[in-house]
Amino acid sequence: MKIFFLFLLILALPGSEFVHEKQTAAKMPERVFGKEEMAAPSVDMTKKDGWHLVWNDEFHDEKSFIKWNPQNWPSEKNGEWQYYLPENIDVRDDLLVISSRKESYKGRSYTSGAVTTESKFEFTYGKIEIRAKLPKGRGIFPAFWLVNSDEDWLPEIDIMENIGQAPNELYYVVHWKDEAGKQKRDYTKITEDIDFSEDFHLYGLIWEPGRIIWTLDGRNVFETDKFSPDSPLFLYINTAIGGNWPGPPDPQDDFPKELLIDYVRVYQQGGIGQ
């Protein structure tokens, strides 16, 4: 059942789709984005090693969509090929499903999906967990982001980026501007003996004053103290297709490709964040 529904790194490095251009979420019927109360989370996940659950989506039914904004626009960055459509977003078998399809739409050869929590849930500091199974294939670019509501979208934290032709590699990035307005970044790439398209994995981030830690399946894999945003950010989940960094998709590949999200959870500690 269908309900509805980034400046990447220059010179072939991971980066932001959002710099310099802010997009508007699609206008959807009130019945989808109403103010219905969501079911309270179960007790066993409301507290975790001193962290208190402040926001979550388990994607148990279509009411999940009241927490998200679908995107409806053609990506203009990095030469990407997709048009984001609300129709490419679904909830199925307790999963958020973002489908990428080989189909023509308004001059684009592919469509895909993206959702954000802009204006619905924005926060400063916390622990983010996203349990997901990634799509695989040349030119397929799934990512989880934290971005700013300001017009230039900076600062930005990339919780996870992956290029589908390298299903065992993950990229972690933080972007910001220095006092002179120059764009800066710190990042790393990890390579694992894992194909992230074959099973679900837990992609995590610990965002603290002065420090950011990226985690994978509960273990720390990258840390930086070069910059940590101190203003509210919102969640952004998407799959891009093609472009200067991932390259073109394989025209012989099977579509659709699916990014599967089991849950998204945000925790905070007492006295830190908002």
Quote the CA–CA distance of 196 and 166 in Å, as a whole number: 9
Residue 77: per-residue pLDDT:
74
**Which residues are CB-contacts of 59 (< 8 A; sequence separation ≥ 6)?**
91, 94, 95, 96, 261, 262, 263
Q: With contact defined as beta carbons under 8 Å apart, do 213 and 222 qualify?
A: yes
Burial label, 95 (beta-carbon count in 10 A; 0-12, 13-18, 19+): buried
What are 89-102's pLDDT values in tens digits? Answer: 999 999 999 999 99
Neighbours of 249 (CB within 10 A): 25
pLDDT at residue 149 in the model? 78
**How many whole angstroms from its chain centre is CA 76?**
18
- pLDDT digits (tens), the chain, 274 positions: 444 333 333 334 444 444 433 333 333 332 232 233 334 444 456 667 889 999 999 999 877 779 999 999 998 778 899 999 999 999 999 999 999 999 999 999 999 999 999 999 999 999 999 999 999 999 999 999 999 877 667 899 999 999 999 999 999 999 999 999 999 999 999 999 999 999 999 999 999 999 999 999 999 999 999 999 999 999 999 999 999 999 999 999 999 999 999 999 999 997 565 5
Flag whether 69 is in a domain.
yes
What pLDDT does residue 151 have? Answer: 67
Residue 191 lies in a domain: yes
Residue 40 included in any domain: no
Q: What is the pLDDT of residues 106-143, one digit of tens each?
A: 999 999 999 999 999 999 999 999 999 999 999 999 99
Query: Could you tell me if residue 250 is inside a domain?
Result: yes
**What is the domain range of residue 206?**
2-22+47-268
Amino acid at 225: D
In a domain, 42, yes or no: no
What pLDDT, on the 0 to 100 scale, is given for residue 31?
Answer: 25
pLDDT of residue 271: 55
Residues 132 and 260 sit within 8 Å (Cβ to Cβ) = yes
The residue among 77, 83, 86, 80 whose CA lies nearest residue 27 is 86
Question: Is 37 within a domain?
Answer: no
CATH number, domain with residue 89? 2.60.120.200
* Residue 192, pLDDT score: 98
- End-to-end alpha carbon distance in the chain: 35
Give catalytic residues, as residue numbers: 156, 161
Residue 41 lies in a domain: no
Per-residue confidence (pLDDT) for residue 150, from 0 to 100: 76
- Count up the domains in the chain and report the number: 1
Q: Answer yes or no: is 159 within a domain.
A: yes
